[in-house]
Amino acid sequence: MSGNPLGAIEELLRSLIADRLKVEAERVPLDASIVEELGLESIEVMQFLLEIEERYPDFRFTDPQVSELQTLRDLAHHLEMITRGMFPREA
């Protein structure tokens, strides 16, 4: 894992997506669109988000958040801000 919190989150997200796509994590670009470029179906995206919620138990996605988080980098940055207390956690 990376030495910085954002890097560690990015690595975790890449690993989770790589498992779903059955590819090596290094082949998953952080700036690719989760739906259009990585090709996840709606149900796969929901399962992926639920998996993230399991790893970050105080965090729950809302519909507006999901529509704003288009790439793994967007998602990693958002989670990193929450873990640092810069964004409120959703109830």
Q: What is the pLDDT of residues 44-77, one digit of tens each?
A: 888 998 998 888 777 777 777 777 888 999 989 8
CB 49 within 8 A of CB 28: no
| The pLDDT of residue 82 | 79
| The pLDDT of residue 2 | 46
| The pLDDT of residue 3 | 59
CB 49 within 8 A of CB 13: no
| The pLDDT of residue 60 | 78
Domain boundaries, the chain: 5-83
**Taking the CB of residue 17, how many other CB atoms lie within 10 A of it?**
23
CB 46 within 8 A of CB 60: no
Which tens digits make up the pLDDT trace of 1-44? 445 778 889 999 999 999 999 999 999 999 999 989 999 888 98
Domain at 5-83, CATH class: mainly alpha
